[in-house]
Structure 1
Amino acid sequence: MDVAILVLDIQKGFISDNARMPVAKHQIEPMLEKVNRMIAQADSIGIPVVYVGNEFEPKQVIANFLTKKSALKGSEGAELDERLVRVNNHYFAKNKSNAFSNSELVSYLKAKEVKNIVIVGLFAEGCVAATALDSIRRKFTVTVVGDAVASVSDSKREKSLKYLGTKGVAIRDSSQVFDKILN
């Protein structure tokens, strides 16, 4: 199978009750429900699930300022949220918004012969957008699951999804993703 799901930044620093840089509270549970269902479904049919998380170094002053030190490497905020279903240990840290900034992720996807990337997670206007756009640049077919991404507001999420759609990213509902990709 040439598909992989990238689960981006579902970390305590963004979705826990005491998150330093939280997404919109009302988006968290519905997003987690969709992401966890997709992870279980992907795992059951042999689609690799890849977890990616922000881990900013203390010396990354600007990144830490912009993210309110929400995902400082080694901090609780950088940990994946305990409500996220984990089916493996395929985890890649990043210290930039684009998941492909980690060359080990790129090598992993090449080794698996992945051609189709499905993106879920946080933040629609940040890491999701950066990773999706770089996926296209790298010649992947990319799908962002609109009801399985979150943002600081509904309007930012919708604006980001609309923008990505104009750039060649397929925007799908979680109930459609596997049907569209596998058929």
Structure 2
Amino acid sequence: MEVKNCEKALLVIDMQNICVGEKHARFFQYNNSDLLHEVNKVIDANENNLVIYIKNVMKKNLINKFAPFHAYEGTKDVDFAKELHIVSDNIFIKYKGNAFTNSGLDILLKKHNIEYVEVVGVDGGACVALTALGAIKNGYKVIVNEAAIGTMYKKNKNKYFKKLHEAGAEFV
């Protein structure tokens, strides 16, 4: 979909070492090179739009200690994968699946009069879908770029993508 006469932002979600880097956690089973290639194509195609990167960071607490992976602030695991194209310094940290739990994201989007939000990254059955639903809840039109979304949680993806379809998200 080509968006005309409005402002658009691209949200690049959780493309970090822990998820898609060379030494990613075994928990994450994506085709990393293909996914990075597709995400980079979308980033490059959005050179005239606002590109925002989202990092998932875990707080050091008892619950997260038992998670199958650890992405703590200040570790290389939370850094973006070295192959990822970084074209802006718009980086937001989130501690939950929905990136809109970081209120700074909505503030930046409103400051730039953003109407459309395109989402790419990982995971289609978790953070990407939850962020897309959060965008809709905050009044944005959402474009879900399936070619540039990695998914492990396929059952969740189907459930969330159905909700996104029903809420009016566009899939490309």
Range of TM-score over shorter length = 0.7 to 0.9
* Kept after mapping to 2: 8 A contact 1:15/1:22: no
In the alignment, is residue 114 of structure 1 matched against residue 114 of structure 2?
Answer: yes
Residue 21 of structure 2: aligned partner: 16
Higher-strand-fraction structure: 2
Paired with 1:23 and 1:2, the residues of 2 have a C-alpha distance of 33
For 2:145 and 2:102, how far apart are their aligned partners in 1?
22
Q: In the alignment, which residue of structure 2 is the partner of 1:32?
A: 36
SS in 1 for 2:144: strand
What SS does the corresponding residue of 1:115 show, helix, strand or coil?
strand
Query: What is the Cα deviation at residue 86 of structure 1?
Result: 0.6
C-alpha change, 1:161 and 1:134, in structure 2 (3 Å) is same
Change (3 A) 1:55 1:153: closer
Segments of 5+ residues of structure 2 without an aligned counterpart are 1-5
Cα deviation, residue 57, structure 1:
1.8
For residues 6 and 82 of structure 1, what CA distance do their matches in structure 2 show? 18
**Aligned 1:149-160 pairs, distance under 5 A:** 149-152=149-152, 157=157, 160=160
1:13, 1:139 → 2: CA distance?
31
Q: What TM-score results when the alignment is normalised by the length of structure 1?
A: 0.82
1:55 is aligned to 2:60: no
Shift in alpha-carbon separation, 1:101–1:87, aligned structure 2, 3 A: same
| Native 8 Å contact 1:119 1:142 kept in 2 | yes
Gaps of at least 5 residues in structure 1 are 173-183
**2:169 is aligned with 1:169:** yes
- Distance verdict in 2 for CA 1:140–1:6, change over 3 Å: same
**DSSP-derived class of the 2:125 partner:** helix
- Which structure 1 residue ranges, 4+ long, deviate > 4 Å from structure 2? 153-160
Q: Hey, what does 1:103 align to over in structure 2?
A: 103
Tell me the residue number matched to 2:69. 68
Paired residues for 1:80-99 under 5 Å: 80-99=80-99
> What is the TM-score when the length of structure 2 is the normalising length?
0.86
